């Protein structure tokens, strides 16, 4: 009897455990299905959000493209690469000549241009014509010469800009300075360039000669000497 009771008890325990295992499996399957459904819903939501963001991005890119087209047509002046490369090679180029709109001048029949080089009719100035131990570099010499002649005196008032550039030749101990003035309040002369020839002697720089040419708002005289 005891053995039979023990056997029956053992079988009941096994059946109970088996039932629990089946119940747990059912619960796990239900949880997995629920998790899958939830995950699919989240994926669908993200896909919709991505579609909406893509549409917004496409519209923004279109607006930027249209805005860029408007700006390029109305606000900026494009300079050809071939022209821009001249600036370093030719230091006497007036940059404003490259970007200023002179269409009105041409519409009125004017043939714009610049005069020939000619000797400057001003005095070089005694402190700059002879060897002076103060002028240790061509830049120092040229900047002091500009101040000496008050070439920047009307800058911002009767003219727009004054700047200088220097082409230095160390091998021949000489330099060419360019003083570029632009934006005169004048109906014929737009600007001018003074070409200052400088030499080095006994470790001191001096000015040998000065030449000038003008940029013209309208026409250049037949001999190429004046703006008319």
Q: In whole angstroms, what is the distance from residue 176 CA to residue 87 CA? A: 15
pLDDT tens digits for 52-106? Answer: 888 888 888 887 777 666 554 555 666 676 666 666 677 888 877 777 777 777 7
Query: Do 19 and 108 lie in a common domain?
Result: no
For residue 213, CA distances in Å to 73, 173, 179 come to: 33, 25, 11
Structural domain total, the chain: 2
- Per-residue pLDDT averaged across 104-110, rounded? 76
pLDDT tops 50 at residue 13 = no
pLDDT tens digits for 125-183? Answer: 989 988 777 899 999 999 999 999 999 888 888 888 899 999 999 888 999 999 999 98
Q: What is the pLDDT of residue 31?
A: 77
Query: Do 151 and 52 lie in a common domain?
Result: no
Query: Do 112 and 212 lie in a common domain?
Result: yes
* Closest C-alpha among 116, 153, 152, 140 to residue 207: 140
Render the burial of 111-135: b for 16+ CB within 10 Å, e for the rest. ebebbeeeebeeebeeebeeeeeeb
Query: Do 69 and 110 lie in a common domain?
Result: no
Rounded to two decimals, the pTM is 0.62
Q: Name the residue range of residue 23's domain.
A: 1-76
Q: What is the pLDDT of residue 146?
A: 95
pLDDT tens digits for 183-212? Answer: 888 888 989 999 999 999 988 999 999 999
Q: Is 68 part of a structural domain of the chain? A: yes
Q: Is 226 part of a structural domain of the chain? A: no
Q: What does 167-212 look like in DSSP terms, one character per residue?
A: EEETTTTEEEEEEEEE--S-SSEEEEEEEEEEEEETTEEEEEEEEE
Question: Which pair of structure tokens corresponds to residue 159?
Answer: 């003219």
| Greater model confidence, 118 or 94 | 118
Q: Given the structure tokens 């160390």, which residue do they identify?
A: 170
Q: Count how many Cα atoms sit within 13 Å of the Cα of residue 25 in the half-sphere of its side chain.
A: 6
Q: What is the pLDDT of residue 77?
A: 63
């Amino acid at each position: 009897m005891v053995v039979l009771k023990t056997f029956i008890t053992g079988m009941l325990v096994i059946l109970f455990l088996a039932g629990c295992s089946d119940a747990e499996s059912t619960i796990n399957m239900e949880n997995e299905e629920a998790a899958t459904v939830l995950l699919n819903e989240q994926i669908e939501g993200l896909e919709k959000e991505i579609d909406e963001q893509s549409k917004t991005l496409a519209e923004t890119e279109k607006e930027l493209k249209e805005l860029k087209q408007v700006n390029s047509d109305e606000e900026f002046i494009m300079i050809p690469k071939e022209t821009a490369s001249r600036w370093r090679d030719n230091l006497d180029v007036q940059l404003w000549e490259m970007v200023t709109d002179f269409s009105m001048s041409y519409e009125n029949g004017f043939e714009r241009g610049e005069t020939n080089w000619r000797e400057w009719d001003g005095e070089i100035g005694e402190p700059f014509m002879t060897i002076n131990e103060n002028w240790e570099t061509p830049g120092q010499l040229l900047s002091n010469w500009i101040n000496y002649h008050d070439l920047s005196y009307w800058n911002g008032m009767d003219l727009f800009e004054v700047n200088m550039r220097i082409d230095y030749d160390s091998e021949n101990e000489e330099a060419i300075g360019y003083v570029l003035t632009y934006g005169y309040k004048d109906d014929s002369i737009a600007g001018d360039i003074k070409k200052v020839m400088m030499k080095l002697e006994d470790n001191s720089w001096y000015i040998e000669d000065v030449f000038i040419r003008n940029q013209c708002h309208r026409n250049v005289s037949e001999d190429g000497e004046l703006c008319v």
